[in-house]
Structure formats: structure tokens, C-alpha cells
Amino acid sequence: MPIRTEVYTAGGIAIGVVARTGHLRDALESGGTLLLEQTTWHALDNAPPHPTGELILPPDDIHIATGDEVDDFPVHAQWHDIILEVGPYRVRGQMPTMPGFDPGRALARPTGEFVQLRDVTIGLLDEAEGGLARAMALVNRYVVDRVEADMMLGFFFPGAVMVSTKPEEPVVVTSVPADPTPTSPSTSPPAPPAPLAPPAPTLDTTPAT
């Protein structure tokens, strides 16, 4: 069954149909180019949309791809809120991990070029809020510039800046001893000098006559 697809690139958004059966991820991870048919091109420079017929896209040119399928999610996953900056786009959504997943101890590294998110909003970086809401999106992890998440996911998004949103541990403030050095001159009169000790007696070494 053909898959209606939106492909987000550095220069604009291509909306068309992938004329193959299976999942969109399979088409993106096939190792070849992605063929979009019945395509309409929406440039980011506010030019009017225009049809382009067939459009061939190498995987490296695809920043984000969305499809109309919603049932290709892992079962029993834990979902983490995540914000990605991908080229000119900001993506907000949820990323799945398996229960008990620890990124610091994980031995298995992600395979493939695209990471799947659900409940996604896609907008431009200069848009403070809003964007296009989609049930799912596949993000090219090699073109992600910045990640905000409650886990450090550097091996998922190599080269991206990582920003942790995990709440910090409470900060315990201890009392600080006072500085013994006065910070202003004293107004009390100076103490009198200590009396000088009497000179020590000298020993007479003159011989007696």
C-alpha cells in the first residue's frame, strides 16, 4: 500500500507518495534513494508550493520524514520527552527505550540512520511555539545538531550538543564561617603599647685588686 510521506530537507518540505508496501522506515533504511511520486515542493523561502512530479532523495538529504502509519512502535517501551534541532527545524516528541535501559551501561548501539519518535511537533527554529503535529516521525540522527532529553544520548545522535533535562539533585547549602579579617577600619582607640622590659644586668668581668 502506498505511503503518504512528508520529507523535510535543508531547503524545504516535499510531500508525496512512496509507492511501495511495508513501512516508511524500511524505505528509508534500504540503502538506496527514496523515490517520491505525485510530489509537491514547499520551499522554506516562502515561495509558492509547486508540483514536481517524481523526486529522488538520497537518505543523507533527508532530515525528517513522516508517514501516515502509526502502528510501528515498540511494545512495552518507556517514553521520554525529547527536543531536537535538526538543520532548520525543531522537533518535539517522545522517544522510546526499553524498560531498565541505561545509556551509560548500554552495550548495544543503535543501528540504522533514522530514530523514530511519536506525538511529534515539527516547526522552524525561529518559531517559538507551534508547528505541524504528526503521530510519528523518523529523524536522521546524523544531522541532529542539539538534543534536550532526560538521558544523555550521545551515541544515538553523534556530533550533537547534549542538554540534560533531568531534575538536578537538591543543593545543600552549608553555613560559611565568618571572615576573621575585618572589612572596615575599627573606630575604637588603639591599645597602648606594652611596657618595655628592663634591660638585663651586665656581668662585671673586671678582676678584683
Higher per-residue confidence, 170 vs 143: 143
85 located within any domain: yes
**CB of 24 closer than 8 Å to CB of 36:** no
Tens of pLDDT, residues 53-76: 899 999 999 999 998 876 566 666
DSSP secondary structure string, 53-108?
EEEEE-GGG-SEEEES------TT-EEEEEEEEETTEEEEEEEEE-TT--TTT---
pLDDT of residue 56: 94
Phi-psi region of 119 (alpha: psi -120 to 50; beta: other; left: phi over 0): left
61 located within any domain: yes
Higher per-residue confidence, 175 vs 14: 14
91 located within any domain: yes
202 located within any domain: no
Q: What is the CATH number of the domain that holds 67?
A: 2.30.30.100
157 located within any domain: yes
The Cα–Cα gap between 49 and 64 comes to 19
Using the predicted structure, report yes or no on whether residue 143 has a pLDDT greater than 90.
yes
Using the predicted structure, report yes or no on whether residue 184 has a pLDDT greater than 80.
no
The Cα–Cα gap between 50 and 153 comes to 38
| Domains contained in the chain, number | 1
- Tell me the average pLDDT of the chain: 78
Using the predicted structure, report yes or no on whether residue 104 has a pLDDT greater than 60.
no
170 located within any domain: no
Domain coverage including residue 64: 3-164
